[in-house]
Structure 1
Amino acid sequence: MIERVARQSQIQQVPDAGKRAAAGGFAMALQAELTRAGQEVQFSKHAMSRAEERGIEITPSLIDQIKGSMVRAQAKGATNILAMDTEKAFIINVPHGRVITAITQDEMKDSVFTNIDGAVFL
């Protein structure tokens, strides 16, 4: 009898656990894919110096956005992408997980981006 009650409480707990997993499902799947692929974001010396001189702060949140952009671009077969939002942009070599350069909004206005095969919004 006690065993049956214990099983029923476990069964009742499973849907709640499933809801929690579903709520964070995409984030967990994304993190698992990044870990599986060993995909880490690296900044070239050029990109680091450009970000510093242009006042672009590299935060953990920004790194996560860049990783997400790389995963989405890789799924579409892109190798060199422009990842951008309204304030900043990055040229990224997807297969190597390397940020090549960082650009601010002011510099984007008159820029022409070449040798890219995709664009992703952060």
Structure 2
Amino acid sequence: MNQDWLFGVRGPLPVTGSAPRKTNPPSAGEPGAFQAELDKQLKPSHIVVSNHAKQRLEKRNIRLNDVDLQRIGLAINQVAAKGGKESLILFKNTAFVVNVPNRTIITAFDQQSMKDNVFTNIDSAMIL
């Protein structure tokens, strides 16, 4: 008699011919809950620009349009998904220090301002 064997903790165990049990998939919860969560993850929420960052953007002649803010918002979503709290986001030769939980741009550096600069108090970085 040909018998298949699996090795268990205490040695070989015979494999039975029984099929695995079917389990019901997890409940989807409320109707539309999945779509609402998906929309939340895919859409960037509002981004706050601190007064300090506004001054730096103006002083360094850095202009951000709606598409730029949307891409930064998506980057913030990705950093948040990985657990980042204070992040450096590099985008279009500009560095943004962002408070991720508050979705706030704290400051901004153009390429010239980044030279010889040390970025501290960040726990993550994202390059776009």
Asked whether the two chains share a fold, i.e. TM above 0.5, the reply is yes
Maintained 8 Å contact 2:86/2:122: yes
Which structure 2 residues correspond to residues 1-122 of structure 1 after superposition, within 5 A? 32-33=39-40, 39-122=45-128
> Aligned partners of 1:29 and 1:58: how far apart in 2?
28
Question: Secondary structure of 1:110's partner?
Answer: coil
User: When you count strand as a share of all residues, which structure comes out higher?
Assistant: 2
5+ residue gaps, structure 2, are 1-34
The CA distance in 2 between the partners of 1:52 and 1:103, in whole Å, is 11
Cα deviation code 1:74-111 (max 9, x no counterpart): 01000000000351110000000100001000111211
Q: Which has the larger radius of gyration?
A: 2
Identify the residue that residue 18 of structure 1 maps to in structure 2.
none
For 1:100 and 1:50, the matched residues in 2 are separated by: 10
AA aligned opposite 1:103: F
* Structure 1 residues 29 and 55: alpha-carbon distance in aligned structure 2, compared to 1, 3 A threshold: farther
Q: List structure 1 segments (4+ residues) > 6 angstroms apart after TM superposition.
A: 28-31
Distance, in Å, in 2 between the alignment partners of 1:29 and 1:50 is 36
Tell whether the 8 Å contact from 2:42 to 2:74 is kept in structure 1 after alignment.
no
Number of aligned residue pairs = 94
Structure 1: unaligned runs, 5 residues or longer: 1-27
Q: What is the CA RMSD across the aligned residues, in angstroms?
A: 2.6
- Choose between structure 1 and 2 for higher RCO, CA contacts under 8 A separated by at least 6 residues: 1
